[in-house]
Amino acid sequence: MPSLRAILYTTFTLTTLPIRILGILVYYLPKVTRPHPAWTYRQAIGLKIFAIWWNYATAVEYRTPKTLIPGREGQRFVVIDPPSNRPALDRGILHSVPSIRPNPIGAVWYPATPSKPPNRVILHFHGGAYVLGGARRKQNGWGPRILSQHMDCPVLQPQYRLSVEENASFPAALQDGIMAYVYLLDTLGVAPENIILSGDSAGGNLVLAMLRHLTEEVDAGLPLPGVGLLWSPWLDLTDHAVRKVDKHPYQGNDYLTGSLVAWGTGMAEVLHEDHMRFVEQMKGLGNEIEVCEVKDAPHDIFAAGVVLGWVDQTEEAIEQATLFVKRVVGSV
């Protein structure tokens, strides 16, 4: 049952939406009024209209519908059960909260379920600050579909548990990520070097958490994947990082707000500086890492490029990532 606050805010949003959209369409006609001087009219209105949705979702604490029923995804939807032969899911940080246990999760294949075990697979995790987003086509299907086209291999996107769900606080999402990885290794028989971990925004944070767990829990017997791809990753989840978002000089160029955060990188997004510091830190440790900066872009065009008007730039970034993968692990 929605709260009174949610009902009132929804009523306000729906009532004022037509005039707000009309105002945006008119206000951004002159270039001088756009959030960024280099943006097109399409990009300016795309960001502001998209920001209306994000602000609404955080204000009413919107919850993404989740089910293990395939629905419109049909045969592209699979259910992943906790493995019975992998004690790795019961050790280390994965077992740091005994009440949080691995549960069956759904996942969606893009563009279609492979007819035979694939030689290479991308395991992609959607963004949404661990409180929003899903794996289905209408929730987060555009980025994985484009990624599959460029990489010429299937993408599996799990609907990992979000922190707003019942019994789904940390380390639930990490459990689900490792469980999906084990599914590719054990059930489908994909070689670890042919698995690409990928994540946008909070999904990028989850990929980093998975890589750290796999590195620290060597005795668990889970090998490292071939490559990790991070698209506008959310690197710092601390309260300090949340507070500084709304004060960032790029805040007017982005739809990401402190309230949302509480709940590839664009050079005009509020997390860009965090990304570049992370790149230098990883290089300093001897990691093979490449950064793709999309000039003047807002946060997470991998997921929202089709809405924000950054389709061409997203595809260019994905193509650069494709070349990186071929150079590091080769073709299959």
Q: Which residues are catalytic?
A: 201
Residues 89 and 84: their CA atoms lie apart, in Å, by 10
Query: Which tokens is 17 given?
Result: 């939406």
- In eight-state DSSP terms, residue 93 is G
Main-chain phi, psi angles of 51, to 5 degrees: -65, -30
DSSP 223-250: PP-SEEEEES-----SHHHHHHHTTSTT
The beta strands (E) that lie in 215-290 are given as: 227-231, 265-266
Find the radius of gyration of the CA atoms of the chain: 20
Residues 147 and 154: their CA atoms lie apart, in Å, by 9
Contact in structure between 185 and 192 (CB atoms under 8 Å): yes
Query: Which tokens is 140 given?
Result: 């987060």
Contacts of residue 32, defined as CB under 8 A and 6 or more positions apart, other chains included, come to none
